[in-house]
Amino acid sequence: MNLEKVVFGFFVVLAATLNFGFFIGDIENPTLHNKYELFAAVVVNLIATVLKFGDRTQIGAVHLATSLVADLQLIAATLAFGYAVYVSSDGLTAAATAGIVSLSGGALLANVVSVVLLVVETVSFHRG
């Protein structure tokens, strides 16, 4: 068993599950979308991105691209959350929450693509 592959797979799947946990629920209800889960999703996605830098294969490049997309979407969601809570006079409204959750949904799609790539790569691996 390759420990590096286990750690890589762990962070890819954890990034997707944390993102899913934040995303799920009524899109306009801020009480259903935990800010700490969003923060954890950002941190784990950034760790997954760093782990993807070492792979020099074509599928590794696509892994990195999906991770960068997820990072960008989650960081934008975090900035939108921070703006709504700390800057905007309206606070965390239903519209602001919908925008934040939509951005995390884009990141979730990128995470799902990354997990699918991981599964395809694992299934197509040949010992020899």
Average pLDDT over residues 117-121: 91
**Residue 43 — left, alpha, or beta (φ > 0 → left; ψ -120 to 50 → alpha)?**
alpha
Interval 57-102: pLDDT, tens: 888 899 999 999 999 999 999 999 999 999 999 999 999 999 999 9
Interval 15-50: pLDDT, tens: 999 999 999 999 999 999 999 999 999 999 999 999
Between CA 69 and CA 85 the distance in angstroms is: 24
* Mean of all residue pLDDT scores within the chain: 93
Q: Is 25 exposed, middle or buried (0-12, 13-18, 19+ CB in 10 A)?
A: middle
* In the chain, % of residues over pLDDT 70: 98
Given a contact cutoff of 8 angstroms between Cβ atoms, the answer to whether 96 and 80 are in contact is yes
Which token pair is 38?
């969003």
